[in-house]
Structure 1
Amino acid sequence: MKIGLRTIKTAVAAPIALLLAGGLQLDSAASAAIITILTVTNTKRSTAKTALNRLFSLTLATVIAAGCFLLLGFHPIVFGLYLILFIPLSIRFDLAEGIAVSSVLITHYLAAGAMPLTLVINEYLLMVIGVGCALAANLYMPNTEKQLQEDQIVVEVTMKKMLDRMSAFLNQPDKEEILRQECLSLQDFVKKAQTRALEYEENHFFNGNSYYFEYFAMRRLQLKIFSDMLQILNRLSAAPEDVQELKELFEFTAETLAEENDGSAILLKIEEVDQRYQQKSLPENRQAFEERAQLFQLFQLFQDFIEIKAGFYRNK
């Protein structure tokens, strides 16, 4: 059984919240521990956002509860009216995650049959202690940048191999399935790496670095294009001399593919190949025309593949 860092933090922070609330002799001190458990998340930003939302949610709940209970009495049916008002307004103001916690605190007024200022302050202190301990627990987050850099290396090495294979498999439709499985596997890896990159970004309050998230987003777009190219590869059958220039393009890209490569050299080669394609004589029959059309479509997709990287490099 694996125990994660979030579990350890929660197990430490919740008892501390309970001890603090008990030390201040607050009513329903255990609620502070429950709030901590529900507030600790995977990142600093999400925990801070959850903490603020809980405080805003409690304020909204207190105002509605005061209006309902003080006017209509402290009765379970009135609590139902409070929920009818509180839940839609919470959703309207994007405070839905605080509905359960705030409503539990509101039941303390119902149980007491009154809303004295001391009890209102008690509920706010429970909330502040709960969310405060959660925030303190998340002050430490392991630096995952090295992992993200390793993920980048895995992606680039794998993409190089895939481009080499695509070059070798041109005019071999039966080999397309091998590449497709590699592409699907890499797509899954990049998706997970992008999730890790988002967590890395959200663990920095003031200097969030979105570079890694955008990098993996760029690679996901490229892999989508690569998948489209495989569909053409699956049915491509052309003369060896017609695919030679594409093979060379794929090989050159595989050799030069790197994080810091802006793609300009490849785009220049693509432009040269395009000009030579334009100068070729028209196909003599329908089959040759279809083969030329497939090659041109594959060429266009490859150009899109490179322009995605070039655009990323210009905007980084």
Structure 2
Amino acid sequence: MPIWQRTIKLALAFSLAIYFANQLGLSYASSAGIIALLNVMDTRRSSLKIANQRLLAVVLAFLIASILFAIFGYHLWVLGLYLISYVPLAHRWHLATGIAPSTVLVSHLYGETSIAWEWLTNELSLFLLGTGFALLVNAYMPSYQGQLDDYHQRVEESLRAILGRFSVFLDSGDGRNQAQMIDDLDRLLAQAQEVAILEERNQLFQQAHHYQLHYFSMRESQAQLLRQMAGQVNRCYQASQESRVLAQLFRQTAQELSQTNPAQGLLTEIEQRRDFFRQRALPQTRQEFETRALLFQLLNDLERFIQLKVNFYQHYQEEEGI
């Protein structure tokens, strides 16, 4: 969330919570604004999750505080005893995020020396107002779809460039490279996944944006295979008919690489090239043998590279209509 947008949301939630708390005649109205500030999160889902946890934390705090105040009275040491009792339970039940706002509300009861229903209602109303306006301002979240579409394009362009570079190396029999393009792709995928996570966490009632996370995860797996293949290409020092055939297959894969391509036809092409390799005459020298083995391994890794996309496409073709 951009800082300017977060600032506006915090100001709105804070002001509205205090205004309506005053309009309702609630005591300690400013506390509603503080609670609103604490509940404005970066995504809709995190805001709703925190709000639920803090509501349970408030109920638990009121229960413990009411019992202790009723038994021992309104003394400072009783407030300490409340914290000794409340904090471990809040952590045990994963409600620690509500310790601070709950204790502020309990301190109001201590200050008023009362656990009468009207005071409990006052404090609960403060919490509900603050939380409610925090959720209200967080109902609007910017869409990251435009950024995700851009990342799709940039990732695919990077993959095409790497596959194209491999084809050049295989054509020439010179595989010297430092895998810099793969390092850049890794960084790009990490950025894309961060944005995809933000977009997914802004969806409360649909899981469609799991697609984005899975898509970039699939591309990440492909990038790992490319790094492995880069090491193999580095060891190909001799151009041959087999390497040129494989280079053509890398070029074809680069040309057909896209989000919407099912890639099934490329698997057929690979099987045909595998038959070609098997029908070739046996290598005559040790270097030819090692090069042939590397090329065959590259062919297998390229098949795995394409199979990742095929599996992804088959999984989502009905759900996403891609």
TM norm structure 1 = 0.89
Give 2:319's aligned residue: none
Give the aligned residue type for 1:309: K
Distance 1:203 1:23 in 2: 32
* Matched ranges for 1:32-181 at <5 A: 32-170=32-170, 171-174=173-176, 176-177=177-178, 180-181=179-180
Aligned to 2:6: 6
Q: List per-residue Cα deviations over 1:245-266 (Å, max 9, x = no partner).
A: 2211110011111111111011
Instruction: Write the deviation string for residues 105-125 of structure 1: whole angstroms up to 9, x where unpaired.
Output: 222223333322222111111
Q: CA deviation at 1:144?
A: 2.9
Q: By how many angstroms is 1:26 displaced?
A: 1.9
Q: Report % sequence identity.
A: 37
CA-to-partner distance for each residue in 1:68-111, whole Å, 9 max, x for gaps? Answer: 33333433443333333333332333323222222222222233
> What secondary structure, in the 3-state scheme, does the structure 1 residue paired with 2:161 have?
helix
Distance in 2 separating the partners of 1:284 and 1:102: 80
Greater shift in the superposed pair: 203-212 or 300-309: 203-212
**Residues 24, 241 of structure 1: alpha-carbon distance in 2 compared, 3 angstrom cutoff:** same
Counterpart residue number, 1:192? 191
Does 2:305 match 1:305? yes
Q: Which amino acid in the other structure matches residue 117 of structure 1?
A: W
Whether the 8 Å CA contact 2:174–2:238 is kept in 1: the answer is no
2:243 matched residue in structure 1: 243
Write the deviation string for residues 20-77 of structure 1: whole angstroms up to 9, x where unpaired.
1222232222211111111111222221222122111111222222233333343344
Unaligned runs of 5+ in 2: 317-322
* Distance in 1 between residues matched to 2:275 and 2:83, nearest whole Å: 69
Residue identity matched to 1:137: V
- Read off the aligned partner of 2:180 and give its amino acid letter: Q
Distance in 1 (CA, whole Å) between partners of 2:250 and 2:104 is 62
Contact 2:169 2:175 in 1 (8 A): yes
The structure-2 alpha-carbon separation of the partners of 1:282 and 1:196, relative to structure 1 and needing over 3 Å to count, comes to same
Shift of 1:311: 0.7
Output the CA distance in 2 between the equivalents of 1:290 and 1:83: 71
Aligned CA distance change for structure 1 residues 295 and 111 (closer, same or farther; 3 Å)? farther
Mapped partners of 1:235, 1:102: distance in 2: 64
224-233 vs 301-310, which deviates more? 224-233
Change (3 A) 1:119 1:299: same
1:83–1:249 CA distance, 2 compared to 1 (3 A): farther
Which letter does structure 2 place at the counterpart of 1:185? D
Consecutive unaligned residues in structure 1, runs of 5 or more: none
- Inter-CA distance 5–263: structure 2 relative to 1 (3 Å threshold): same
CA distance in 2, matches of 1:279, 1:136: 68
Give the drift of 1:197.
2.2
SS at match of 2:208: coil
Aligned length: 312
Shift in CA distance, 278/87, structure 1 to aligned 2, threshold 3 Å: farther
For residues 188-241 of structure 1, give each alpha carbon's deviation from its aligned partner in whole angstroms, at most 9, with x where no partner exists: 222222222232233333234222222222212211222222222333334432
- The letter of the residue matching 1:314 is Q
Q: Give the stretch that moved more between structures: 17-26 or 139-148.
A: 139-148
Distance 1:73 1:299, change over 3 A: farther
SS of corresponding position for 1:4: helix
Distance 1:26 1:296, change over 3 A: same
The residue type equivalent to 1:173 in the other structure is: G
Name 1:205's counterpart in structure 2.
204
CA 1:65–1:280 in 2, change beyond 3 Å: closer, same or farther?
A: farther
Task: Tell me how far 1:284 sits from its aligned partner.
Answer: 4.7
Shift of 1:131: 0.8
Residue 249 of structure 1: SS of its match in structure 2?
helix
- How far apart in 1 are the matches of 2:16 and 2:296? 66
What's the CA shift for 1:281?
4.7
The alignment's TM-score, normalised by the length of structure 2, stands at 0.88
Letter in 2 for 1:219: R
Q: Is the Cα contact below 8 Å between 2:145 and 2:199 reproduced in 1?
A: yes
Q: Is the 8 A contact 1:202 1:208 kept in 2?
A: no
